[in-house]
């Protein structure tokens, strides 16, 4: 029997867990959580209504987690995400409700505020060389004070603008049946086509490829998850606008990170910044762009959260930052940079959201929720560190 070419050689279990199969333990964890809450809540957890509520609850966390993924990929961290998100939502609400500006102007100002904040953070981190931990921690404190100033002593500002509320805050904040079925299917076809095309190209070029069985498993899981979710959504009111926004952005940035030169440069900087610089990559520009995108996505998350709550408040959600970073890390994004996918946050956010939602259905107090989420985050970070050490030892 002839020997297989090197690019088609079988992978060991350890190599598989460090590569694309690394999502399987996370998926298994999610399945265990779902089955447990489905049984202990008498099936309420998996009801279409609760599923719809769950995905709407995690939309903001998902958007912030997507932003967090960008800075984590280059080995940095942003501790101001929750503050930036709330600040931008306050900017939108103040301009819309107090200044009487059109909704699109208020939303654009909120997004511009987020992008500007991220740009400034990126300048300090990439040019001035101040550690991102210090820059974003200081920013978090400053932005919390700024949003209090904008609210001028008002603890809650109600949003009445119909367009802003239509994003996620009204009973009609759902896609039509045509869009609700067509858009996810189209996105699924784009994803499947991109994965298959990448497999064919790598095989033709003699590069390492995943086993065919693993590829088929990946595609089947994608179809089952997407179409299964569509069926659940359509059995209630449909796909929420906020969920559509989240997954559209995930798909967009997945294509950018995996199919463009910019995306390759991001992973190169995260893997070894000095080697990337010597290879001619503008490391400073990459860092600035990623911090800008991070805060911009936090701003989008703030707009969605404000719309769903029909108001903005002076109090920053104390667990929002933890949830956003935890979702990325639990999903497989490395805290040390250079490894992870934007799709990783889907499983991470679902785990975080399922824990919160299930514990709420079981009437567990806040202290129990926070202890469990903290334990899950510690376990995820520990696994990430162990896998990274295994990579170093094997020379990967």
Give the predicted TM-score (pTM) of the model: 0.86
pLDDT of residue 338: 80
Output the six-digit token pair for 155. Answer: 């603890």
Q: What is the pLDDT of residue 381?
A: 67
Q: What is the pLDDT of residue 24?
A: 65
Residue 19 has a pLDDT of 47
| Burial (CB count within 10 angstroms: exposed 0-12, middle 13-18, buried 19+), residue 114 | buried
Q: How far apart are alpha carbons 74 and 262 in whole angstroms?
A: 13
Domains and CATH numbers, the chain: 22-174+240-393 (1.10.3470)
Q: Which helix (H) or strand (E) holds 243?
A: helix 241-259
Tokens of 209: 């490829």
C-alpha torsion angle, residues 242, 247, 253, 256 (rounded to 10): -140
Phi first, then psi, for residue 156 (nearest 5°) are: -140, 135
CB under 8 Å to 241, separation ≥6 — which residues? 166, 167, 168, 173, 174, 175
Angle, vertex CA 158, rays to CA 48 and CA 299, nearest 5? 70
Q: Which residue has the tokens 């609400």?
A: 93
- pLDDT, one tens digit for every residue, the chain (396 residues): 444 444 444 444 445 444 444 566 777 788 888 899 999 988 899 888 888 888 898 999 999 999 999 999 999 999 999 999 999 999 999 999 999 999 999 999 999 999 999 999 999 999 999 999 999 999 999 999 999 999 988 889 999 999 999 998 777 788 888 888 888 888 889 889 988 998 888 888 888 887 888 888 888 988 988 888 888 888 888 889 999 999 999 989 998 998 899 999 999 999 898 999 999 999 999 999 999 999 999 999 999 999 999 999 989 988 899 889 988 888 888 888 888 888 888 888 998 899 889 988 888 888 887 788 778 777 766 766 676 666 566 555
Q: Report the pLDDT value the prediction gives residue 288, as an integer from 0 to 100.
A: 96
Query: What are the CB-based long-range contacts (under 8 Å, 24+) for 374-382?
Result: 374/322, 376/326, 376/330, 376/351, 376/352, 377/322, 377/325, 377/326, 377/329, 377/330, 380/326, 380/329, 380/330, 381/329, 381/335
Q: Are 338 and 75 in contact (CB under 8 A)?
A: yes
Q: What is the pLDDT of residue 8?
A: 41
Backbone Cα Rg of the chain? 21
**Cα(229)–Cα(234) distance, rounded to whole angstroms?**
9
* Residue 382 pLDDT: 73
> Alpha-carbon distance 280 to 101, whole Å?
45
Q: What three-state secondary structure class fits 162?
A: helix
Residue 266's nearest CA partner among 240, 238, 289 is 289
Residue 194's pLDDT is 86
pLDDT at position 5: 46
* Cα–Cα nearest to 73, from 379, 339, 284, 283: 339
């Amino acid at each position: 029997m002839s020997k297989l070419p090197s690019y088609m050689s079988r992978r060991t279990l350890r190599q598989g867990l460090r590569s694309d199969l690394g999502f399987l333990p996370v998926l298994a964890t999610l399945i265990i959580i779902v089955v447990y809450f489905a049984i202990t809540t008498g099936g309420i957890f998996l009801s279409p209504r609760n599923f719809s509520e769950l995905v709407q609850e995690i939309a903001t966390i998902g958007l912030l987690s997507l932003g967090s993924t960008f800075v984590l990929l280059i080995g940095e961290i942003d501790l101001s995400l929750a503050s930036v998100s709330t600040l931008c939502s306050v900017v939108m609400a103040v301009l819309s409700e107090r200044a009487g500006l059109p909704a699109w102007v208020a939303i654009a100002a909120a997004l511009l505020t987020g992008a500007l904040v991220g740009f400034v953070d990126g300048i300090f981190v990439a040019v001035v060389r101040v550690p991102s931990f210090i820059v974003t921690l200081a920013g978090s404190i400053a932005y919390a004070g700024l949003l209090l100033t904008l609210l001028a002593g008002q603890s809650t500002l109600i949003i009445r603008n119909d367009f802003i509320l239509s994003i996620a805050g009204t009973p009609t904040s759902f896609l039509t049946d045509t869009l609700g079925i067509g858009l996810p299917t189209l996105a699924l076809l784009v994803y499947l086509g991109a994965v298959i095309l990448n497999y064919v190209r790598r095989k033709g070029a003699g590069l390492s490829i995943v086993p065919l069985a693993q590829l088929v498993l990946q595609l089947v899981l994608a179809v089952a998850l997407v179409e299964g979710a569509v069926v659940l959504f359509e059995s209630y009111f449909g796909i929420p606008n906020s969920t559509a926004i989240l997954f559209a952005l995930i798909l967009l940035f997945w294509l950018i990170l995996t199919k463009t030169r910019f995306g390759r440069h991001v992973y190169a900087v995260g893997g070894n910044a000095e080697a990337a610089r010597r290879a001619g990559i503008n490391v400073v520009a990459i860092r600035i762009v990623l911090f800008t995108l991070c805060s911009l996505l936090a701003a989008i998350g703030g707009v969605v959260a404000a719309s769903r709550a029909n108001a903005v408040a002076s109090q920053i959600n104390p667990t929002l930052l933890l949830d956003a970073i935890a979702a990325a890390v639990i999903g497989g994004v490395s805290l040390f940079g250079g490894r992870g996918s934007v799709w990783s946050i889907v499983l991470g956010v679902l785990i975080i959201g399922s824990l919160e939602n299930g514990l709420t259905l079981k009437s567990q107090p806040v202290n129990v929720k926070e202890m469990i989420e903290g334990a899950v985050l510690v376990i995820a970070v520990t696994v990430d560190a162990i896998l990274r050490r295994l990579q170093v030892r094997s020379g990967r």
